[in-house]
Amino acid sequence: MADVAREAGVSVMTVSNVLNERLPVGETTRARVMAAVEALGYEVNLTARHLRAGRTDTVAFIAPSFHDYFGEVSDEIALRVESEGRHLVLERTGGGPEQEMEALSVSRLRLYDGVLLSVAGLDIDRLERVRTSTPIVLLGERDAPERFDHVRLANEEGARLATAHMIDGGSRRIVALGGTFDPGHTMSSDRRLGWERAMTDAGLGVDPRYVVPISEYSSAAARDALLEVIDSGLPFDGVCSITDVIALGAISALAERGLRIPEDVQVTGFDNLEMVQFVPPGLTSVDANHEELAEKAVGMLHRRIAGWDGPAEHVVVPVRLVVRGSTRGRA
Protein backbone atom coordinates (compact mmCIF):
# COMPACT_ATOMS: atom_id res chain seq x y z
CA MET A 1 0.00 0.00 0.00
CA ALA A 2 2.89 2.27 0.74
CA ASP A 3 4.25 1.44 -2.69
CA VAL A 4 1.00 2.42 -4.30
CA ALA A 5 0.94 5.66 -2.35
CA ARG A 6 4.44 6.49 -3.46
CA GLU A 7 3.70 5.58 -7.07
CA ALA A 8 0.61 7.78 -7.04
CA GLY A 9 2.29 10.52 -5.10
CA VAL A 10 -0.26 10.48 -2.29
CA SER A 11 -0.44 9.21 1.25
CA VAL A 12 -1.44 5.71 2.25
CA MET A 13 -4.64 7.02 3.76
CA THR A 14 -5.74 8.32 0.42
CA VAL A 15 -5.12 4.93 -1.10
CA SER A 16 -7.12 3.35 1.66
CA ASN A 17 -9.92 5.81 1.16
CA VAL A 18 -10.04 5.20 -2.55
CA LEU A 19 -10.16 1.45 -2.13
CA ASN A 20 -12.78 1.48 0.57
CA GLU A 21 -14.79 4.36 -0.81
CA ARG A 22 -14.93 5.63 2.70
CA LEU A 23 -14.11 9.32 2.63
CA PRO A 24 -14.70 11.24 -0.57
CA VAL A 25 -11.62 11.54 -2.75
CA GLY A 26 -10.94 13.94 -5.60
CA GLU A 27 -11.56 12.56 -9.04
CA THR A 28 -8.07 13.06 -10.38
CA THR A 29 -6.49 11.70 -7.23
CA ARG A 30 -8.69 8.64 -7.37
CA ALA A 31 -7.69 8.04 -10.97
CA ARG A 32 -4.01 8.30 -10.13
CA VAL A 33 -4.41 5.88 -7.27
CA MET A 34 -6.32 3.37 -9.35
CA ALA A 35 -3.68 3.57 -12.03
CA ALA A 36 -0.98 2.88 -9.48
CA VAL A 37 -2.98 -0.02 -8.09
CA GLU A 38 -3.24 -1.52 -11.55
CA ALA A 39 0.36 -0.89 -12.40
CA LEU A 40 1.66 -2.54 -9.28
CA GLY A 41 -0.94 -5.28 -9.17
CA TYR A 42 -1.75 -4.30 -5.63
CA GLU A 43 -4.37 -6.09 -3.54
CA VAL A 44 -5.24 -5.37 0.07
CA ASN A 45 -3.82 -7.66 2.67
CA LEU A 46 -6.89 -9.01 4.38
CA THR A 47 -4.89 -10.34 7.28
CA ALA A 48 -3.80 -6.84 8.18
CA ARG A 49 -7.29 -5.52 7.69
CA HIS A 50 -8.68 -8.21 9.94
CA LEU A 51 -6.15 -7.49 12.63
CA ARG A 52 -6.94 -3.84 12.49
CA ALA A 53 -10.70 -4.30 12.36
CA GLY A 54 -10.86 -6.97 15.01
CA ARG A 55 -13.20 -9.02 12.87
CA THR A 56 -13.02 -11.06 9.71
CA ASP A 57 -16.59 -10.98 8.40
CA THR A 58 -16.18 -14.70 8.07
CA VAL A 59 -18.14 -17.55 9.58
CA ALA A 60 -16.89 -21.12 9.78
CA PHE A 61 -18.97 -24.25 9.52
CA ILE A 62 -17.05 -27.05 11.17
CA ALA A 63 -18.25 -30.58 10.49
CA PRO A 64 -16.81 -34.08 10.24
CA SER A 65 -17.00 -34.06 6.45
CA PHE A 66 -19.09 -32.52 3.75
CA HIS A 67 -20.40 -35.63 2.09
CA ASP A 68 -24.04 -36.41 2.04
CA TYR A 69 -25.84 -34.72 4.86
CA PHE A 70 -23.46 -31.90 5.70
CA GLY A 71 -22.85 -31.20 2.05
CA GLU A 72 -26.50 -30.42 1.60
CA VAL A 73 -26.75 -28.49 4.82
CA SER A 74 -23.74 -26.38 3.94
CA ASP A 75 -25.43 -25.17 0.77
CA GLU A 76 -28.30 -23.80 2.79
CA ILE A 77 -26.01 -22.29 5.35
CA ALA A 78 -23.84 -20.62 2.73
CA LEU A 79 -26.85 -18.94 1.22
CA ARG A 80 -27.84 -17.36 4.49
CA VAL A 81 -24.40 -16.42 5.71
CA GLU A 82 -23.62 -14.69 2.45
CA SER A 83 -26.89 -12.86 2.37
CA GLU A 84 -25.78 -11.15 5.56
CA GLY A 85 -22.63 -10.03 3.83
CA ARG A 86 -20.33 -12.50 5.48
CA HIS A 87 -18.14 -15.17 4.02
CA LEU A 88 -18.55 -18.86 4.80
CA VAL A 89 -15.64 -21.25 5.06
CA LEU A 90 -15.88 -24.95 5.76
CA GLU A 91 -13.53 -26.87 8.00
CA ARG A 92 -13.60 -30.62 8.23
CA THR A 93 -12.67 -32.38 11.40
CA GLY A 94 -12.57 -35.87 9.97
CA GLY A 95 -14.86 -36.95 12.76
CA GLY A 96 -12.23 -37.98 15.25
CA PRO A 97 -12.49 -36.34 18.66
CA GLU A 98 -8.84 -35.26 18.58
CA GLN A 99 -9.25 -33.48 15.28
CA GLU A 100 -12.46 -31.97 16.44
CA MET A 101 -10.66 -30.54 19.42
CA GLU A 102 -7.89 -29.38 17.15
CA ALA A 103 -10.33 -27.50 14.97
CA LEU A 104 -11.86 -26.21 18.14
CA SER A 105 -8.60 -24.90 19.43
CA VAL A 106 -9.70 -21.56 20.62
CA SER A 107 -7.04 -19.74 18.69
CA ARG A 108 -8.45 -21.13 15.46
CA LEU A 109 -11.95 -20.19 16.42
CA ARG A 110 -10.86 -16.63 16.79
CA LEU A 111 -10.09 -16.44 13.12
CA TYR A 112 -13.84 -16.26 12.64
CA ASP A 113 -16.55 -13.90 13.74
CA GLY A 114 -18.72 -16.90 14.51
CA VAL A 115 -18.71 -20.65 14.28
CA LEU A 116 -21.31 -23.26 13.42
CA LEU A 117 -20.14 -26.49 14.94
CA SER A 118 -21.49 -29.90 14.23
CA VAL A 119 -20.94 -32.09 17.24
CA ALA A 120 -20.60 -35.55 15.82
CA GLY A 121 -17.71 -37.17 17.60
CA LEU A 122 -17.49 -34.77 20.47
CA ASP A 123 -18.80 -35.58 23.88
CA ILE A 124 -20.26 -33.17 26.31
CA ASP A 125 -17.27 -33.07 28.65
CA ARG A 126 -14.87 -31.98 25.98
CA LEU A 127 -17.25 -29.36 24.75
CA GLU A 128 -17.70 -28.11 28.23
CA ARG A 129 -14.04 -27.17 28.27
CA VAL A 130 -14.28 -24.94 25.24
CA ARG A 131 -13.96 -21.37 26.42
CA THR A 132 -13.91 -18.62 23.90
CA SER A 133 -15.44 -15.29 23.20
CA THR A 134 -16.22 -16.34 19.64
CA PRO A 135 -19.95 -17.00 19.26
CA ILE A 136 -20.68 -20.66 18.63
CA VAL A 137 -23.88 -22.35 17.58
CA LEU A 138 -24.00 -26.11 17.87
CA LEU A 139 -25.67 -28.30 15.28
CA GLY A 140 -26.35 -31.90 15.96
CA GLU A 141 -28.24 -34.57 17.70
CA ARG A 142 -26.07 -35.19 20.72
CA ASP A 143 -26.42 -33.73 24.14
CA ALA A 144 -24.48 -30.53 24.52
CA PRO A 145 -23.73 -28.13 27.34
CA GLU A 146 -26.60 -25.86 28.26
CA ARG A 147 -24.63 -22.70 27.76
CA PHE A 148 -24.34 -23.14 23.98
CA ASP A 149 -26.99 -22.25 21.47
CA HIS A 150 -28.00 -25.52 19.90
CA VAL A 151 -30.14 -26.66 16.99
CA ARG A 152 -31.25 -30.23 16.60
CA LEU A 153 -33.85 -32.19 14.67
CA ALA A 154 -37.02 -33.78 15.93
CA ASN A 155 -35.29 -37.14 15.78
CA GLU A 156 -37.71 -39.15 17.80
CA GLU A 157 -40.72 -37.79 16.01
CA GLY A 158 -39.13 -38.42 12.61
CA ALA A 159 -38.38 -42.05 13.32
CA ARG A 160 -41.82 -42.46 14.83
CA LEU A 161 -43.44 -41.11 11.69
CA ALA A 162 -41.43 -43.42 9.47
CA THR A 163 -42.12 -46.48 11.57
CA ALA A 164 -45.82 -45.73 11.98
CA HIS A 165 -46.06 -45.31 8.23
CA MET A 166 -44.59 -48.77 7.65
CA ILE A 167 -46.92 -50.27 10.24
CA ASP A 168 -49.71 -48.56 8.40
CA GLY A 169 -48.46 -50.26 5.26
CA GLY A 170 -48.64 -53.66 6.91
CA SER A 171 -45.25 -54.25 8.46
CA ARG A 172 -45.22 -55.88 11.87
CA ARG A 173 -41.59 -56.77 12.45
CA ILE A 174 -39.46 -53.74 11.82
CA VAL A 175 -35.72 -53.55 12.24
CA ALA A 176 -34.30 -50.34 13.71
CA LEU A 177 -31.11 -50.32 11.67
CA GLY A 178 -28.41 -48.26 13.33
CA GLY A 179 -30.39 -47.78 16.50
CA THR A 180 -28.85 -48.03 19.95
CA PHE A 181 -29.82 -47.89 23.59
CA ASP A 182 -27.29 -45.18 24.45
CA PRO A 183 -28.14 -43.18 27.50
CA GLY A 184 -28.86 -39.50 26.92
CA HIS A 185 -29.56 -37.95 23.55
CA THR A 186 -27.74 -39.28 20.55
CA MET A 187 -28.95 -39.59 17.03
CA SER A 188 -29.00 -43.38 17.16
CA SER A 189 -30.77 -43.49 20.48
CA ASP A 190 -33.35 -40.80 19.83
CA ARG A 191 -34.32 -42.32 16.52
CA ARG A 192 -34.49 -45.77 18.08
CA LEU A 193 -36.83 -44.26 20.63
CA GLY A 194 -39.12 -43.02 17.88
CA TRP A 195 -39.23 -46.50 16.39
CA GLU A 196 -40.02 -47.86 19.83
CA ARG A 197 -42.80 -45.37 20.38
CA ALA A 198 -44.43 -46.22 17.07
CA MET A 199 -44.24 -49.93 17.80
CA THR A 200 -45.71 -49.43 21.24
CA ASP A 201 -48.42 -47.11 19.98
CA ALA A 202 -49.46 -49.78 17.52
CA GLY A 203 -49.62 -52.40 20.23
CA LEU A 204 -46.64 -54.25 18.79
CA GLY A 205 -43.99 -55.51 21.16
CA VAL A 206 -40.56 -54.00 21.38
CA ASP A 207 -38.11 -56.80 20.81
CA PRO A 208 -34.51 -55.68 21.37
CA ARG A 209 -33.27 -58.13 18.76
CA TYR A 210 -34.74 -55.76 16.20
CA VAL A 211 -32.48 -52.94 17.29
CA VAL A 212 -29.42 -53.53 15.16
CA PRO A 213 -26.43 -51.32 15.91
CA ILE A 214 -23.79 -50.74 13.26
CA SER A 215 -20.08 -50.26 13.67
CA GLU A 216 -20.02 -46.92 11.85
CA TYR A 217 -22.45 -44.76 9.93
CA SER A 218 -21.59 -46.07 6.49
CA SER A 219 -23.55 -47.91 3.84
CA ALA A 220 -21.00 -50.70 3.96
CA ALA A 221 -21.41 -51.27 7.67
CA ALA A 222 -25.19 -51.09 7.35
CA ARG A 223 -25.18 -53.58 4.54
CA ASP A 224 -23.08 -56.04 6.50
CA ALA A 225 -25.23 -55.65 9.58
CA LEU A 226 -28.45 -56.29 7.70
CA LEU A 227 -27.01 -59.25 5.80
CA GLU A 228 -26.22 -60.75 9.15
CA VAL A 229 -29.79 -60.22 10.31
CA ILE A 230 -31.17 -61.82 7.17
CA ASP A 231 -28.86 -64.77 7.44
CA SER A 232 -29.65 -65.23 11.12
CA GLY A 233 -33.19 -66.09 10.15
CA LEU A 234 -34.76 -63.38 12.30
CA PRO A 235 -37.98 -62.61 10.41
CA PHE A 236 -38.64 -58.98 9.50
CA ASP A 237 -40.75 -57.05 7.04
CA GLY A 238 -39.57 -53.48 7.53
CA VAL A 239 -36.34 -51.56 8.06
CA CYS A 240 -36.33 -48.20 9.79
CA SER A 241 -32.86 -46.91 8.96
CA ILE A 242 -31.57 -44.09 11.08
CA THR A 243 -30.03 -42.30 8.09
CA ASP A 244 -30.35 -42.41 4.31
CA VAL A 245 -26.79 -43.59 3.95
CA ILE A 246 -27.66 -46.53 6.17
CA ALA A 247 -30.86 -47.15 4.22
CA LEU A 248 -28.77 -47.41 1.09
CA GLY A 249 -26.75 -50.17 2.71
CA ALA A 250 -30.00 -51.88 3.65
CA ILE A 251 -31.30 -51.65 0.10
CA SER A 252 -28.09 -53.19 -1.14
CA ALA A 253 -28.32 -56.06 1.33
CA LEU A 254 -31.97 -56.78 0.52
CA ALA A 255 -31.24 -56.79 -3.20
CA GLU A 256 -28.35 -59.15 -2.67
CA ARG A 257 -30.60 -61.64 -0.89
CA GLY A 258 -33.35 -61.32 -3.44
CA LEU A 259 -35.82 -59.58 -1.15
CA ARG A 260 -38.13 -57.16 -2.89
CA ILE A 261 -38.79 -53.57 -1.78
CA PRO A 262 -41.49 -52.82 -0.78
CA GLU A 263 -43.29 -56.13 -1.38
CA ASP A 264 -41.22 -58.23 1.01
CA VAL A 265 -39.66 -55.52 3.10
CA GLN A 266 -40.48 -51.84 3.44
CA VAL A 267 -37.57 -49.45 3.98
CA THR A 268 -37.31 -45.92 5.28
CA GLY A 269 -34.40 -43.53 5.64
CA PHE A 270 -33.76 -40.29 7.45
CA ASP A 271 -32.36 -37.05 5.99
CA ASN A 272 -34.06 -37.10 2.60
CA LEU A 273 -30.81 -36.61 0.74
CA GLU A 274 -31.08 -35.46 -2.82
CA MET A 275 -29.94 -38.81 -4.16
CA VAL A 276 -32.41 -41.11 -2.44
CA GLN A 277 -35.27 -40.18 -4.68
CA PHE A 278 -33.37 -41.70 -7.58
CA VAL A 279 -32.51 -45.04 -6.02
CA PRO A 280 -35.25 -47.36 -7.24
CA PRO A 281 -37.94 -47.68 -6.08
CA GLY A 282 -37.38 -44.29 -4.40
CA LEU A 283 -36.65 -44.16 -0.71
CA THR A 284 -39.28 -43.01 1.73
CA SER A 285 -37.39 -40.74 4.07
CA VAL A 286 -37.75 -38.26 6.88
CA ASP A 287 -36.95 -34.84 5.51
CA ALA A 288 -34.33 -33.26 7.71
CA ASN A 289 -35.52 -29.80 6.84
CA HIS A 290 -32.19 -28.31 5.90
CA GLU A 291 -33.72 -24.94 5.20
CA GLU A 292 -35.18 -24.41 8.61
CA LEU A 293 -32.15 -25.87 10.32
CA ALA A 294 -29.92 -23.44 8.46
CA GLU A 295 -32.30 -20.57 8.99
CA LYS A 296 -32.38 -21.09 12.75
CA ALA A 297 -28.70 -21.76 13.18
CA VAL A 298 -27.47 -18.88 11.08
CA GLY A 299 -30.04 -16.56 12.58
CA MET A 300 -28.94 -17.36 16.10
CA LEU A 301 -25.30 -16.97 15.16
CA HIS A 302 -25.77 -13.61 13.53
CA ARG A 303 -27.66 -12.38 16.50
CA ARG A 304 -24.77 -13.36 18.75
CA ILE A 305 -22.24 -11.77 16.45
CA ALA A 306 -24.29 -8.61 16.56
CA GLY A 307 -23.74 -8.64 20.29
CA TRP A 308 -26.98 -10.11 21.57
CA ASP A 309 -26.37 -11.57 24.97
CA GLY A 310 -29.46 -13.48 25.99
CA PRO A 311 -29.54 -16.99 27.42
CA ALA A 312 -28.60 -19.95 25.24
CA GLU A 313 -31.39 -21.16 23.04
CA HIS A 314 -32.09 -24.80 22.27
CA VAL A 315 -34.14 -25.28 19.15
CA VAL A 316 -35.73 -28.44 17.83
CA VAL A 317 -36.48 -28.30 14.13
CA PRO A 318 -39.60 -30.15 13.01
CA VAL A 319 -39.39 -32.83 10.33
CA ARG A 320 -41.84 -34.47 7.97
CA LEU A 321 -42.08 -37.75 6.12
CA VAL A 322 -41.62 -37.92 2.37
CA VAL A 323 -43.24 -41.03 0.98
CA ARG A 324 -41.82 -42.83 -2.03
CA GLY A 325 -41.78 -46.32 -3.50
CA SER A 326 -39.88 -48.10 -0.77
CA THR A 327 -42.97 -48.22 1.44
CA ARG A 328 -46.53 -49.33 0.77
CA GLY A 329 -48.45 -46.91 2.93
CA ARG A 330 -50.28 -43.90 1.62
CA ALA A 331 -48.56 -40.52 1.78
Partner DNA sequence: CTGTTAGCGCATTCAT
Partner DNA sequence: ATGAATGCGCTAACAG
Residue choice 6, 7, 20, 38 for contact with DNA (CB under 7 A): 20
Helices (H), ranges, the chain? 2-8, 12-20, 27-40, 46-53, 68-83, 97-103, 106-109, 124-128, 155-168, 187-201, 219-232, 244-256, 290-305
Count of residues touching DNA (by CB under 7 A) = 28
Binding partner of residue 25 among a second copy, DNA, none, CB cut-off 5 to 8 Å per kind: DNA
Reduce the DSSP state of residue 136 to 3 states and report it: strand
Q: Which of 23, 35, 39, 275 binds DNA (CB under 7 A)?
A: 23
Q: 229 contacts which partner out of DNA, a second copy, none, CB within 5 to 8 A by kind? A: none
Q: Does 56 sit near DNA (CB under 7 A)?
A: no
What's the 3-state SS for 287-303? ECCHHHHHHHHHHHHHH
By a kind-dependent CB cut-off of 5 to 8 A, residue 10 interacts, out of DNA, a second copy, none, with DNA
What distance in Å separates the CA atoms of residue 190 and residue 100, rounded to the nearest whole number?
A: 23
Tell me how far apart the 2 most distant CA atoms of the chain are, in Å.
86
Among DNA, a second copy, none, residue 38 binds (CB under 5-8 Å by kind): none
CB of 81 to DNA, least distance (A): 21
Q: Does 45 bind DNA (CB under 7 A)?
A: yes
Relative to beta strand 114-118, strand 58-63 is: parallel
Decide if 100 contacts 121 (C-beta within 8 A): yes
- Of 7, 34, 40, 49, the residue at the interface with DNA (CB under 7 A) is 49
Instruction: Catalog residues that contact DNA under the rule CB under 7 A.
Output: 1-2, 9-14, 16-17, 19-20, 22-26, 28-30, 44-45, 48-49, 51-54
